[in-house]
Amino acid sequence: MNGVQTITASVKASHDWFNGTISDVTQAQANALPPGVVHPIGELMTHILNSEDGTVHNMIQGKPTIWERDGWGKKLGVGNMMFHDNKGARTFKIEPTSLAGYHKAVQAATLQYLGSLKDADLDRLVDAGPLGKVPVAALLLNGMVGNTFAHTGEISALKGTHGAKGYPF
């Protein structure tokens, strides 16, 4: 297995965990405000998708995100949550099923992009905003895949506080 194949397998695994975990999230669960400073499930779902979109399209390819290009913020009436602050995140509300089209487009575009890569592409340095200049491989694995798994775990735990099953396994 080469580097691109390894990263693609990791991305697919993170998609599987995320997709399975959110598949039955209700609007009440998505918008429930947890105690403390924890972000609501719906905001975490949107953050994961916005972060993958921003990583693959903007940071790595230097293109507009699907969110911007296709007007998803206007369609959904919400802001981009890639770089969320606590106040904005805790007031965020969304109907989870309204994310379906964006969700599908982001994940499909990510897999299409990964299919275009060669191992040599993984060493290219890109500006990852607050993370500085990092190789494409590190941004995809440590940034995007790590972000998806970490926040999917939060979603799973938050579902448990509602008496729902978290992870799909």
C-alpha–C-alpha distance, residues 38 and 44, integer Å: 10
DSSP at 118: -
Rounded CA separation 61/65 (Å) = 10
Angstrom CA distances, 105 to 39, 52, 73, 155, stand at 24, 11, 14, 21
- Under a CB-based contact definition with an 8 Å cutoff, are residues 82 and 88 in contact? no
- Say how far apart CA 118 and CA 105 lie, in whole Å: 22
pLDDT recorded at residue 125? 97
> What integer pLDDT is reported at residue 155 of this predicted model?
98
Show the tokens assigned to 151: 């926040």
pLDDT tens, the chain, 169 aa long? 899 999 999 999 999 999 999 999 999 999 999 999 999 999 999 999 999 999 999 999 999 999 999 999 999 999 999 988 888 999 999 999 999 999 999 999 999 999 999 999 999 999 998 889 999 999 999 999 999 999 999 999 999 999 999 999 8
Fold classification of 3-161 (topology level): Four Helix Bundle (Hemerythrin (Met), subunit A) (1.20.120)
Give the Cα separation of 33 and 157 in Å (integer): 14
Domain coordinates in residue numbering, the chain: 3-161
